[in-house]
Amino acid sequence: MDAMEENFRKWKLKEEGREPLRGEFFESYIRYMYDSLLAQQAEEVTVQRRVKVEDTHGSSFEIDVLYEFSVAGVRHRVAIECKDTRRPIGRDDVIAFVGKVKGLSHTIGVFISRRGFQAGALKYLDDHGIEHFDGTQIPHFGQLLANRIAAVALPGAQTHGAPFWGLAETTDDKVTGNWLLVPDPDSSRRRWPRVRTPPMLFPLFLSKPAAEQFRRRIGAEDYAVRGISQPTLRLLTSAPASIPHRFGLFRNLQTDDGPVFEYDSLAAADIHAEYVVLD
């Protein structure tokens, strides 16, 4: 029995004539998660319990456990709701938490229920991109969640675009978490490349071949084409006010001189509203 299983057993069973305080369980639980996140290239990991947070609308509410960490210089949060009820959690029990997470920027939502979930609750969580774990998964929760966080922050070669593809920086064939940015002429429609030094633009492509063609066209040898999943797109666009760059929807036009790329320049809020379907 590993340390997490032992802590989980203490959480469920009475010892010395009393129910162990859940805080005792979480202290070990937090340390385990801390190590797991660090193993997945996260930096500056902080943990808070029963913390008051404020959403983008100025409303405040309490989160059971809040992890904050950085991957490749981007700050992320994991908001965790924990339920230890006598029955599986129903749909009505998860709606409020989903609403909380939707109002927080750069936040991954996680719902833990020791007794599991009813079918309606699972569907609602899945429809809104919320991770969920039951009692059978808790002993290994830290590594499971860390793997899923890495999949969002560091997309793999098998990740499919939903609907976009981008160019991710690589070192020793591993994605660093940085995405390619190119100069933005700051116009609704322009052709690239142009000799300018304007604000930066995040290129998005609707197909993998188009992204690969663009990568070769500009000689971005240290970048690889990666699919941008819906959870990743949500994180990339969920805090429009704090995102300094715009996004470019690129299309390749075939000419006698080779491909020319035309694009529309859009703000993060526009991309989020039009293409993120998890909210």
> With 90 as the cut, is the pLDDT of residue 51 above it?
no
Tokens 């790329």 locate to 261
107 and 51 housed in the same domain: yes
* Inside any domain, residue 158: no
Q: Which of 153, 182, 200 is the last residue of a domain?
A: 153
Residue 203 is predicted with a pLDDT of 92
CA end-to-end span of the chain: 39
Q: What is the mean pLDDT of residues 245-263?
A: 80
Q: Which of 52 and 3 is assigned the larger pLDDT?
A: 52
Distance CA 184, CA 194 (A): 9
Distance CA 45, CA 67 (A): 7
Q: What is the mean pLDDT of the chain?
A: 74
> With 80 as the cut, is the pLDDT of residue 19 above it?
no
Number of domains in the chain: 2
125 and 88 housed in the same domain: yes
95 and 195 housed in the same domain: no
172 and 148 housed in the same domain: no
> With 90 as the cut, is the pLDDT of residue 217 above it?
no
Is the pTM of the predicted complex or chain greater than 0.85? no
Residue 139 is predicted with a pLDDT of 61
What domain range is 241 assigned to? 164-275
Residue 152 is predicted with a pLDDT of 60
Residue 14 is predicted with a pLDDT of 41
* Inside any domain, residue 111: yes
What are 156-162's contacts with CB under 8 Å, separation 24+?
156/226, 157/224, 157/226, 159/226, 159/227, 159/228, 159/229, 159/232, 160/227, 160/229, 161/205, 161/206, 161/207, 161/208, 161/227, 161/228, 161/229, 162/227, 162/228, 162/229, 162/230, 162/233
CA angle 220, 216, 250 (to 5 degrees): 90
Dihedral sign for Cα atoms in the order 64, 69, 71, 73? positive
73 and 183 housed in the same domain: no
Residue 261 is predicted with a pLDDT of 82
Q: What is the mean pLDDT of residues 7-32?
A: 50
Residue 147 is predicted with a pLDDT of 62
18 and 142 housed in the same domain: yes
> With 80 as the cut, is the pLDDT of residue 209 above it?
yes
Residue 20 is predicted with a pLDDT of 47
Distance CA 75, CA 108 (A): 12
168 and 108 housed in the same domain: no
Q: Which of 134, 153, 172 is the last residue of a domain?
A: 153
Q: pLDDT band for 264, please (50, 70, 90 cuts).
A: confident
Q: For 35-49, 175-189, 244-258, which range has the lowest pLDDT when averaged over its residues?
A: 35-49
* Inside any domain, residue 134: yes
124 φ/ψ angles, rounded to the nearest 5 degrees: -65, -40
Maximum mean pLDDT: which of 47-61, 108-122, 247-261:
108-122
> With 60 as the cut, is the pLDDT of residue 27 above it?
no
235 and 256 housed in the same domain: yes
127 and 189 housed in the same domain: no
CATH number for position 8: 3.40.1350.10
Residue 141 is predicted with a pLDDT of 65
Q: What is the mean pLDDT of residues 26-50?
A: 61
| CA–CA distances in Å: residue 276 to residues 69, 129, 164, 189, 269 | 23, 11, 11, 22, 10
List residues bridging with 82 in a β-sheet.
112
* Inside any domain, residue 66: yes
- In three-state secondary structure terms, 136 is coil
Distance CA 222, CA 2 (A): 41
* Inside any domain, residue 242: yes
Q: What is the mean pLDDT of residues 106-121?
A: 87
